[in-house]
């Protein structure tokens, strides 16, 4: 059965938002602009006699304070190593603040535009930056963040969708059968990769979380930072057919391996990670359905036609997972 939970941000009126900022001694000019975010609530706030700031309210119950602070420290560690990430400001001696039952952080504004997709020099530069980022990420481990794994991101996602009755009755059997086949393929891919070192990752490294400015990538939104395989921060940057993706991955790794060793066995994880993201994405929407922002943003989610499309995606992904591992072009 579906669990009903109270809307997590229902009391965030403009007055409450501004009061949170002013509780830190910042004088706002009254301007509040909601920015695109579903998991949390993010706003651009006008500040008197200063640059605007970004205000981020964390979803209740998702992360502990210790886990959020660990994300903040990782961001600062990357900055200290001359990597461009957007880290929270230290105000009143800390980066994590509490006001009226909400937890929040203040960030500087970061300008830029989306990187050019599929461009050789752009991908090589992003690869160099990710190699440096992972060299820092490999120095130690998180204590309070999660680890990317098959159980939580795939098996538990399928179980939640089935147990909470999200599938139309006439599609449930087909969905369940496909998921079991896909989960077997995911587990096989993970096993075939063998033992690999996990490291601290960006975690959600898609082009929307990279801003391009002055010929350099600037990484934003480390909310999903976690432990996991290096490939998790690489595969979403490659698009097109297998040949195009192989070429793009080669460009990324040309830059990456200048700064950090890459375990090429992880090429075999790409389609498994894609499948895990597909399953986890749908379970994420389902788990957040009681938040009014989700039915508004994903009105198609409950329609039978959408789930028919998901079944087609699962079938296509099952075929993709049976194809040979992505091949890089020869040097």
Number of separate domains in the chain: 2
Is 240 part of any domain? yes
- At 222, is the secondary structure helix, strand, or coil? coil
Residue pair 161/241 in contact (Cβ under 8 Å)? The answer is no
| Residue 91 pLDDT | 96
Query: Do 149 and 228 reside in the same domain of the chain?
Result: yes
Query: Do 266 and 313 reside in the same domain of the chain?
Result: yes
Q: Where are the beta strands (DSSP E) in the chain?
A: 28-35, 41-47, 53-57, 97-99, 102-108, 199-201, 210-213, 216-219, 226-228
Is 113 part of any domain? no
Query: Do 178 and 140 reside in the same domain of the chain?
Result: yes
Is 26 part of any domain? yes
Domain assignment of residue 24, given as a range: 14-108
Catalytic pick from 29, 192, 204, 263? 204
Catalytic site includes residue 184 = no
Q: Which of 50, 81, 108 is the last residue of a domain?
A: 108
Is 328 part of any domain? no
Query: Do 231 and 272 reside in the same domain of the chain?
Result: yes
Query: Do 272 and 246 reside in the same domain of the chain?
Result: yes
The tens place of each residue's pLDDT in the chain, 331 residues long, gives 555 566 789 899 999 999 999 999 999 999 999 999 999 999 999 999 999 999 999 999 999 999 999 999 999 999 999 999 999 999 999 999 999 999 999 999 988 888 998 999 999 999 999 999 999 999 999 999 999 999 999 999 999 999 998 999 999 999 999 999 999 999 999 999 999 999 999 999 999 999 999 889 999 999 999 999 999 999 999 999 999 999 999 999 999 999 999 999 999 999 999 999 999 999 999 999 999 999 999 999 999 999 999 999 999 999 999 999 999 987 6
Q: Which of 48, 82, 108 is the last residue of a domain?
A: 108
Query: Do 199 and 264 reside in the same domain of the chain?
Result: yes
Is 46 part of any domain? yes
Query: Do 83 and 144 reside in the same domain of the chain?
Result: no
Is 229 part of any domain? yes
Is 330 part of any domain? no
Residue 109 class from Cβ within 10 Å (0-12 exposed, 13-18 middle, 19+ buried)?
Answer: exposed
Is 9 part of any domain? no
With the C-alpha atoms ordered 207, 209, 210, 213, is the resulting torsion angle positive or negative? positive
Query: Do 160 and 49 reside in the same domain of the chain?
Result: no
Residue pair 41/30 in contact (Cβ under 8 Å)? The answer is no
CATH of residue 39's domain is 3.30.200.70
Query: Do 71 and 213 reside in the same domain of the chain?
Result: no
Catalytic site includes residue 204 = yes
pTM: 0.95
CATH of residue 257's domain is 1.10.510.10
Q: Which of 108, 140, 175 is the last residue of a domain?
A: 108
Could you read off the pLDDT of 227-285 as tens digits, one per residue? 999 999 999 999 999 999 999 999 999 999 999 999 999 999 999 999 999 999 999 99
With the C-alpha atoms ordered 260, 217, 199, 75, is the resulting torsion angle positive or negative? positive
Query: Do 243 and 182 reside in the same domain of the chain?
Result: yes
Catalytic pick from 80, 221, 224, 233? 221
């Amino acid at each position: 059965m579906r669990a009903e939970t109270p809307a997590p941000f229902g009391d965030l009126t403009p007055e409450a938002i501004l009061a949170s900022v002013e509780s830190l001694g910042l004088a706002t000019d009254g301007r509040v602009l909601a920015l695109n975010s579903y998991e949390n609530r993010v706003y651009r706030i006008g500040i008197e006699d200063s640059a605007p700031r970004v205000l981020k309210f964390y979803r209740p119950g998702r992360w502990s304070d210790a886990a959020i602070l660990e994300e903040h420290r990782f961001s600062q560690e990357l900055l200290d190593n001359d990597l461009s990430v957007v880290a929270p400001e230290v105000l009143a001696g800390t980066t994590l603040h509490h006001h009226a039952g909400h937890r929040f952080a203040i960030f500087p504004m970061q300008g830029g535009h989306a990187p050019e997709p599929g461009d050789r020099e752009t991908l090589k530069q992003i690869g160099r930056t990710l190699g440096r980022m992972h060299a820092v990420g490999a120095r130690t481990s998180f204590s309070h963040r999660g680890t990317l794994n098959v159980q939580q991101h795939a098996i538990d996602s399928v179980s939640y969708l089935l147990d909470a009755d999200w599938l139309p009755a006439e599609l449930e059997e087909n969905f369940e059968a496909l998921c079991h086949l896909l989960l077997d393929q995911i587990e096989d891919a993970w096993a075939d990769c063998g033992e690999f070192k996990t490291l601290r990752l960006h975690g959600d490294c898609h082009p929307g979380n990279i801003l391009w400015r002055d010929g350099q990538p600037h990484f934003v939104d480390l909310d999903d930072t976690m432990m996991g395989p290096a490939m998790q921060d690489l595969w979403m940057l490659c698009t097109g057919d297998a040949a195009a993706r192989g070429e793009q991955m080669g460009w990324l790794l040309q830059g990456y391996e200048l700064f950090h060793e890459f375990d090429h066995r992880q090429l075999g994880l790409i389609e498994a990670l894609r499948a895990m993201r597909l399953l986890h994405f749908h379970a994420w929407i389902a788990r957040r359905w009681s938040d009014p922002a989700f039915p508004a943003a994903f009105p198609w989610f409950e329609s039978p036609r959408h789930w028919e499309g998901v079944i087609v995606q699962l079938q296509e992904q099952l075929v993709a997972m049976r194809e040979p591992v992505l091949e890089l072009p020869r040097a």
